[in-house]
């Protein structure tokens, strides 16, 4: 039994804990709130415990990480506070990884690539064009620099917009309950521009794989992801998988977004990444499939499981 330390108890952190517990590993979940495993849907899993800890405390996190084989960064600061909340948290994770010797495996995203005109691969240059993109790109560049210096061992997975239970997207908490109730679904940006969608469970599978595989360290990996679908197509697919009547899909008017941004900091923070929703935003995940033999969960199965979780 190896010790694994997971910072963050959102959908990816919880899915990662389930995978590790199924293998008989010791899992320690870290969160500022100290939520119990039951609160994260992990009740009755042997070897899983939770610790209340401010993960920006590098000394406390480093002490807790002693003896851990892998330190998983599954944290998710408030969307509108990335610029202030990520740097101290990322720095503490680097310090904890260096002091403990644990592999640092981070859950990343595609923001660091900036506006692209072709499908993204792991070789696509990091040319962020937003504050949030610069934050995420900087986190990886800092980790990679320490890895190359031999001070830590680090890797990162990168996902597209998530689909799955509790995912904040039209194919998650923002849209599924409305669809199941027969109500129209509103989407950001273009309803017809194709985009990639990553299943939360597939992200957890790759995270566990790269954390435990020496050949995976020192580079990023894209999570195995199904072929791209537009938001309109994806909502229609979801209705079919859920065996409910199709619903109308509409785009949130720009004037409404502007008005909401005046009172909602999360909506306001979306403005700088609007490019992701206005034209194709697609990633290629072939490298992870070739290296680890992992393939995306079939699309219909993903959508069926997602719909069932909200019933």
pLDDT digits (tens, 9 = 90+) for 30-79: 988 766 555 556 767 888 999 999 999 999 999 999 999 999 999 999 99
Q: What is the pLDDT of residues 191-231, one digit of tens each?
A: 999 999 999 999 999 999 999 999 999 999 999 999 999 99
CA dist 29 → 21, 33, 155 (Å) = 12, 11, 20
Chain centroid to CA 243: how far?
Answer: 28
Determine the pLDDT at residue 82: 96
Residue 248 lies in a domain: no
Q: What is the pLDDT of residues 223-279, one digit of tens each?
A: 999 999 999 999 999 999 999 999 999 998 877 777 777 777 877 888 899 999 999
At residue 118 the predicted structure's pLDDT band, cuts being 50, 70 and 90, is very high
pLDDT of 282 strictly over 80: yes
Residue 153 lies in a domain: yes
Residues contacting 302, CB < 8 A, separation 6+:
163, 164, 199, 226, 296
d(CA 153, CA 288): 19
At residue 1 the predicted structure's pLDDT band, cuts being 50, 70 and 90, is confident
Read off the tokens for 211. 């954390």
- φ/ψ of residue 28, rounded to 5: -115, 120
Residue 14 lies in a domain: yes
Determine the pLDDT at residue 250: 94
Residue 245 lies in a domain: no
Residue 269 lies in a domain: no
Predicted structure pTM score: 0.94
Query: Residue 283 is inside which H or E element, if any?
Result: none
Q: DSSP string covering 176-233, please?
A: HHHHHTT--EEESS-SSSEE-EEEHHHHHHHHHHHHT-GGGTTSEEEPP-PPPEEHHH
Residue 38, domain CATH:
3.40.50.720
Determine the pLDDT at residue 168: 80
Q: What is the pLDDT of residues 134-192, one digit of tens each?
A: 999 999 999 999 999 999 999 999 999 999 988 888 888 889 999 999 999 999 899 99
- φ/ψ of residue 221, rounded to 5: -140, 135
Residue 102 lies in a domain: yes
Determine the pLDDT at residue 255: 77
Domain count, the chain: 1
> Which among 187, 142, 195 has a CA at the least distance from the CA of 168?
187
**What is the torsion angle, in degrees rounded to the nearest 10, for the CA atoms of residue 82, residue 83, residue 89 and residue 94?**
120
Positive or negative CA dihedral for 176, 178, 184, 188? Answer: negative
Range of the structural domain that residue 95 is part of: 3-160+200-226+283-297
d(CA 180, CA 307): 8
- φ/ψ of residue 272, rounded to 5: -75, -15
Tell me the Cα Rg of the chain: 19
Determine the pLDDT at residue 208: 98
Determine the pLDDT at residue 36: 56
Relative to beta strand 194-195, strand 229-230 is antiparallel
Determine the pLDDT at residue 169: 83
At residue 98 the predicted structure's pLDDT band, cuts being 50, 70 and 90, is very high
Residue 278 lies in a domain: no
Determine the pLDDT at residue 35: 62
């Amino acid at each position: 039994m190896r010790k694994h330390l997971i910072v963050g108890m959102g959908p990816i952190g919880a899915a990662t804990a389930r995978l590790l517990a199924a293998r008989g590993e010791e899992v320690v979940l870290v969160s500022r709130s100290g939520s119990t495993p039951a609160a994260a849907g992990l009740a009755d899993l042997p070897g899983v415990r939770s610790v209340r800890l401010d993960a920006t405390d590098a000394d406390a996190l480093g002490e807790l990480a002693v003896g851990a084989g892998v330190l998983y960064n599954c944290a998710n600061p408030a969307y509108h506070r990335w610029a202030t909340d990520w740097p101290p948290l990322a720095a503490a994770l680097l310090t904890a990884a260096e002091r403990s010797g644990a592999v640092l495996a981070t859950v990343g995203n595609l923001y660091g690539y900036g506006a692209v005109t072709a499908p993204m691969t792991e070789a696509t240059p990091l040319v962020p064009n937003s504050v949030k993109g610069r934050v995420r790109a900087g986190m990886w560049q800092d980790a990679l620099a320490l890895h190359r210096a031999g001070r830590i061992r680090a890797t990162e997975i990168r996902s597209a917009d998530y689909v799955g239970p509790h995912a904040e997207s039209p194919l998650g908490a923002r849209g599924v309950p409305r669809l199941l109730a027969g109500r129209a679904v509103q989407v950001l940006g273009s309803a017809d521009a194709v985009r990639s969608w990553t299943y939360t469970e597939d992200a957890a599978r790759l995270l566990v794989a790269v954390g435990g595989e020496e050949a995976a360290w020192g580079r990023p990996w894209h999570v195995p992801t199904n072929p791209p679908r537009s938001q309109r197509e994806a909502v229609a697919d979801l209705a079919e998988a859920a065996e409910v009547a199709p619903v109308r899909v509409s785009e949130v008017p720009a004037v409404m977004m502007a008005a909401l941004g005046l009172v909602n900091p999360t909506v306001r923070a979306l403005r700088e990444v609007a490019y992701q929703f206005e034209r194709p935003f697609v990633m290629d995940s072939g490298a992870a499939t070739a290296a680890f033999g992992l393939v995306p969960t079939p699309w219909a199965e993903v959508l069926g499981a997602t719909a069932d979780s909200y019933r």
